[in-house]
Amino acid sequence: MGDTGCVHFAAYVKEYGYDSYSVVHAYFSACINKEARRRKALSCLCYKCGSSGPQLYSCLHCIYFACKGAHINEHYKHTKHFMALELCYGMLYCYQCRDFIYHSKCQAIAERHLRCEARSLDKSLSWRPWSPSRLEIDLLLKNPKRRHVTALTSIGLRGLLNLGSTCFMNCIVQALIHTPLLRDYFLAELHECTTKTAAKCLVCEVSRLFQEFYSAAAASLTTAGTTTATGGTNSGQSQPPDPNPSQCNCIIDQIFTGGLQSDVVCQACKGVSTTIDPFWDISLDLGESSNGQGGYGGPPKSLIDCLERFTRAEHLGSSAKIKCNTCNSYQESTKQLSMRTLPIVASFHLKRFEHSSLVGIDRLIDKKISTFISFPAELDMTPFMSQKKSDQQQSHQTPSSPNFAGGGANGSAGSSMPGVVSTCLPNDDASSDTVSDFRYSLYAVINHVGTLDAGHYTAYVRHQKDIWVKCDDHIITTATLKQVLDSEGYLLFYHKKILEYE
């Protein structure tokens, strides 16, 4: 049986065509519009017992509805009508074959109806399995040899040559290469370059790297093209660039962008001013806490400690008063950060490089913080979400909505100006009825070894489930999860475990 069904369905189509299938599927399976849903509710009942389910079949010869099992079987025995449509999933059933069948043209009709249903209900399409296009079928037929991915496969693993102070870029590339959604995007060749000179397109260069990584070759690669596209090499191994890209709708933005909520509370009237800004990574302080609030004032010992301190309410003090338009005067206030929306990939930057100045010394003091910070293989971000923080404070706060004017807070990663609520983030409704899952799984860690002046970057990446490797420029070695969790993490990459389809 191929993609044209069985010989019995071919005989049915020759006599009846596709009209009966199309009408029944449109009105009683997919329900393409409001009228179809009304008709299904009124007439889609078993003609034998009057039941509406749980699983109904429709005869495609005479449009007879019956329950799965005895009732539809009895109809077939009396009429010899052998083609039926299962209405819950829209599958064709042949009683002469005693099996479900697949037909490519019927599948195309069904998918068109499902798109109409989604538009009619203003909802997203449900998950559909991948089906190859004609071009992909031709390529598969022309290339019958298959590469079987096993636990010990090296496909997707390539070393990267150090071109001179490019170890940090090499680590970033390794982390991006092992980001599942990015891999699927570039290996599917979904990038369409709009740059006149492709040699200057960074995304084209990244796409080329993905193709090279998964070509099953063993030789080390070079990131010379990537370096050229980004405008040069990283001048210092210990101090990587800290870009702040503008928000767009590219694949990088879709995967890495989240929404950071800042709540500034006037201490006089308890009014709250909320700002929502996009973020691409979260920078976390490792030094001594600026105040003793929140249960501890010392340095954090874990990623959870860092996140708790990052989202803890901070008193701005008398030197950073903010004008409250409700009080019509400058008032002391508190500021609290929380996660309004989370990206698919959450990136955490542990600020191990500290630049400070001492009293009486007219120069900066640079040092590296080598404190061990533990981080989990599985991370639940629920306690740090805006809605969760709001629920915790609801019992003892009475919010109002004044406007603030003026300054910000000290030392937050991701600037935000109180007084304006940003609306640039899609789907940032924290009060949505949709229950989201905020669990994440670790898949890449970038480490810095050595001192501030003379250091080197290496990376651990998850190659497959429970299989980790260490990437040290052109050298790739196997690693264990214990080695990863015991490492001196500098950048941590977590991937969302459950994705909501849009």
Catalytic positions are 167, 456
Angstrom distance (rounded) from CA 85 to CA 87:
6
Own/partner pairs, 101-104, CB within 8 angstroms, 24+ separation = 101/1, 101/5, 101/6, 101/9, 102/1, 102/3, 102/5, 103/3, 103/4, 103/5, 103/9, 104/3, 104/4
For 371, the token pair is 């404190």
> Where does 349-393 have alpha helices with state H?
386-393
Q: Which SS3 state, helix, strand or coil, does residue 303 take?
A: helix
Calculate ∠ Cα 444-447-453, nearest 5°: 155
Taken as a whole, the chain contains a residue count of 502
| b/e code 423-460 from CB counts within 10 Å (16+ = b) | eebeebebeeeeebebebebbbbbbbeeebeebbbbbb
DSSP letter at 49?
A: T
In Å, what is the CA distance from 497 to each residue of 177, 333, 466, 474? 18, 37, 14, 30
Which residue type is seen at 200?
K
Angstrom distance (rounded) from CA 151 to CA 45:
50
DSSP letter at 447?
A: E
User: Which helix (H) or strand (E) is 232 found in, with range?
Assistant: none
Given a contact cutoff of 8 angstroms between Cβ atoms, the answer to whether 273 and 262 are in contact is: no
> Where does 354-480 have alpha helices with state H?
386-393
- Which residues, 6 or more positions from 231, have their beta carbon under 8 angstroms from its beta carbon? none
Angstrom distance (rounded) from CA 157 to CA 71:
57
Cross-strand pairs, 405: 323
Cis geometry, peptide bond prior to residue 144 (ω within 30 degrees of 0): no
Sign of CA dihedral 141, 144, 148, 154: negative
For 272, the token pair is 């709250």
Angstrom distance (rounded) from CA 229 to CA 233:
10
Longest dimension (CA), the chain: 101
For 394, the token pair is 């609801």
| 210 phi/psi in degrees, rounded to 5 | -60, -45
Angstrom distance (rounded) from CA 32 to CA 111:
11
Given a contact cutoff of 8 angstroms between Cβ atoms, the answer to whether 71 and 49 are in contact is: yes
Beta strands in 150-285 (DSSP E): 258-266, 272-279, 282-285
